Structure 1
Amino acid sequence: MVGCLLIAEEGLDYDATIARIAELRAGTRKAHDPCPEAPSQHRILRERAARLQSRG
């Protein structure tokens, strides 16, 4: 959810989105947990970022 918002609202690409999520989670109890957790979640973020960049 957060990743999709970052892509849509901030215009971040996939790599920047993953980095920003890690920054936001730093210092929290979930900082060391993978996020997104599932390969399907990564796929969704990649596709959304690619769609945004193809628009231009």
Structure 2
Amino acid sequence: MRKKRLIEKTVPVIFDVVVWSGFAAFLVATYIACHTLLQRFPEQVNKIIGLLQSFTA
């Protein structure tokens, strides 16, 4: 059985860390944007949410 070099072990781990941290950053940015939008325009956001709920019901 061939031994794996260190670079062959670390590249997939680094790739996973970069991808998952990017996904987490995207989720945090989405949460902040939605929270800011809700604070700035509460009536319009509630109207849109109600429209979506009535459409899916």
Fold agreement, TM-score > 0.5: no
TM, length-normalised to structure 1: 0.32
Give the structure, 1 or 2, with the largest relative contact order (CA under 8 Å, sep 6 or more). 1
Q: TM-score, normalised by structure 2?
A: 0.31
> Higher helix fraction: Structure 1 or Structure 2?
2
